Structure 1
C-alpha cells in the first residue's frame, strides 16, 4: 500500500507540474477514440471516415473543452447519416436538437460523461460510467449519462439496420419506412429504456450514498451502484428475452468495480483508523467536527552537504556551515 501511495503522490505532482500538457493529451486520446468508434460503426461518408481526418479532428478537439468535442462528434455523425440516408439524417438531427436543449439546460458542465458513455459501451464496460459519475460529479450529471446512452443506442441501431435504411427505394412509401425504422431505434427500443432507467437510478444511488455521513461512504456507494446495476440489468434482460447479454453484464460489473476502486484510491482514499472528533465554539455556535485524514505518504527531501568536494564550489567552509546550522562557529573547532 505504501508503494501505491507513493506512486499516487508522484502522479499528482507530475499532473500539477504538467497540467497544461496532460489535459490536451487526454482530450486528444478520448477524441481520437470517439471518432474512430464513429467511423467503425457508421462510417458511411468516406470523406470524413478516414483515420487521418480522425487524427486532425482529435487534434482540434484537444484544444477545446468537452462540449466542443460533443459538437464536432455530432456533426461527424450527421454527415455519416446523411451519406446513408437523408431521412435518417433528419431523425438524427431531431435527436441531437432535443439532446442539445436538455443537456445544455441541465448538465452543461458534465459533457465528458456524454462522450465517455458511448465510448465505454464500445469497450463493453458502460456500467462504469454511472458509477464514476455518481462518485465524481454532481447529481445533474445523470442527464449527460442519459444523453450518452441514447446516442449510443441510436448509432448502434442505425448500424444494425443499415441495409434497410440505405436501400434505394422505388416504392412510394420508402422514405416513410426509413423514418419509421430510424425512429424505432429511439421510440421502440425496449433495451434502451431498460439500460437508461438502470443507469439513471444507479447514478443517483451512488451520488446519494457517497454523500452520507458514514464511514467508507464511497466504498458503500460504488458497491451499491454496481450491485443494483448487475441485478437490475440481469432481471431486465431475462424479462426481455435477451439472456445472452447476462454474462457480459456480470463481467462488465466486475471490471467496473475495479475501475471504481481505482477512482476511490485516487480521489477519496481516507485513513479511518485515525479519525478524530473535535469540539469547539465561538460566540454563536458549538461545533462538532468529524475529521478523517487522507492516506498520504510524502517522500522526504534529502539534501547532501559536501565538506570535502573536489571542486572549490562544492566545499562548505565552517562559517557558512555554522550560519546554515544556526550554531556557534567556535563549536566546529
Structure 2
C-alpha cells in the first residue's frame, strides 16, 4: 500500500508541476484515439481517412475544450456516413444536433464522457463509464454517457449495413430514412444499456454521498450490480440475444478500473476517523472527520564518494 501511495503522490506532483504540458497532451491523445477509431470503423470518405488529417485535428483539439472535441468527432462521423448515404447522414446530423443542444444544457463540463463512451465500447469495457461518471460527477453525467452510447450504436449500424445503404437507388431513398430510424427506435439492446447506465450512475453518486465507512467502495459494487441487474432483467424480459460471458468479463474489468480510479481520487484512512461536536448560538454540529491517506514522497539522496589521491 505504501508503494502505491508513493506512486500516487509522484503522479500528482508530476501533474501539478507540468500541468501546462500534460493537459494538452491528454486532450490530444483522447482526440487522436477517438478519431482513429472513427476512421477504422467507418472510413468511407477517403479525403478525411488520412492519418495526417487525424493528427492535425487532434493537435487542434489539444488546445480546445472537450466539448469541441466531441463536436469534431460528430462531424467526422456525419462526413463518413454521408459518403454512404445522404439520408442516413441527415438523420444522424439531426440526432447529433439534438444531443449536443441537450448536452450543453445539462452537462457542459462532461464532454470527455461523450468521447470516452464509444471508445470504452470498442475496448469492451463500456460498463466502467457510468461508474466513473458517478464517482466524479453527478446523476446528470448520465446524459453524456447516454449520448455516447447512441453514437456508438449509430456507428455500429452504419458499419454493419454500409453495403445495403450505399446500394439503395435514388427512387427508394426513403427506405434509408426508415432503416436508420427503425434501427434506433427498435434497438432494445441500446435502450437497456442506457437504462443500466443511468441506474448505475445514480446509484454510485447517491451512495458515495453517505458518510459511512468505505462508502465509495460500496457505491462501486452497488452501481456495478445495479448495472448487471438491469441488463440481465432486460435481456430475459425482452428475449434479447447477448453474450453473457462477454458481459461478465466486461463488467469485471470495468469494476477493477473503477476501483483503481477510486484509489486515485478518494483515498482515506478510516482507522483514524474522528468525531467532533461543537455549537454556536443557533446550532449543534456533529462532524465526522476522515483523514486522507497522504504520504511524503521520499527524496533521492546522492552520496558522492571521492577516490583517495
| 1:180 matched residue in structure 2 | 178
Residue among 225, 236, 240 paired with 2:223: 225
Q: For 2:140 and 2:189, locate their aligned partners in 1 and report how far apart those are by CA, in whole Å.
A: 23
Q: For 2:144 and 2:173, locate their aligned partners in 1 and report how far apart those are by CA, in whole Å.
A: 32
| 1:328 matched residue in structure 2 | none
1:160-199 per-residue CA deviation (whole Å, 9 max, x = no partner) reads 11111111416x3x11111111112221111111111111
| 2:274 matched residue in structure 1 | 276
| 2:212 matched residue in structure 1 | 214
Q: 1:188 to 1:302 in 2, by over 3 A?
A: closer
RMSD: 2.0
- Length-normalised TM-score, structure 1: 0.87
Q: Answer whether contact 1:164 1:178 (CA < 8 A) is retained.
A: no
| 2:244 matched residue in structure 1 | 246
Please report how far the alpha carbon of residue 260 of structure 1 lies from its aligned counterpart in structure 2 after TM superposition: 1.0
Q: Answer whether contact 1:88 1:179 (CA < 8 A) is retained.
A: yes
Higher Cα Rg, which structure: 1
1:11-38 per-residue CA deviation (whole Å, 9 max, x = no partner) reads 1000100111111111111111101111
Please report how far the alpha carbon of residue 300 of structure 1 lies from its aligned counterpart in structure 2 after TM superposition: 5.2
Q: For 1:83 and 1:192, locate their aligned partners in 2 and report how far apart those are by CA, in whole Å.
A: 25
Greater Cα offset, 146-155 or 291-300: 291-300
Q: Which runs of 5+ in 1 are unaligned?
A: 311-333
Q: For 1:91 and 1:243, locate their aligned partners in 2 and report how far apart those are by CA, in whole Å.
A: 27
SS of the residue 1:109 aligns to = coil
| 2:121 matched residue in structure 1 | 121
| 1:329 matched residue in structure 2 | none
Q: Answer whether contact 1:194 1:236 (CA < 8 A) is retained.
A: yes
Q: For 1:131 and 1:269, locate their aligned partners in 2 and report how far apart those are by CA, in whole Å.
A: 17
1:65-112 per-residue CA deviation (whole Å, 9 max, x = no partner) reads 101101111111111111111111111111111102211111111111
- Length-normalised TM-score, structure 2: 0.94
Q: 1:243 to 1:181 in 2, by over 3 A?
A: closer
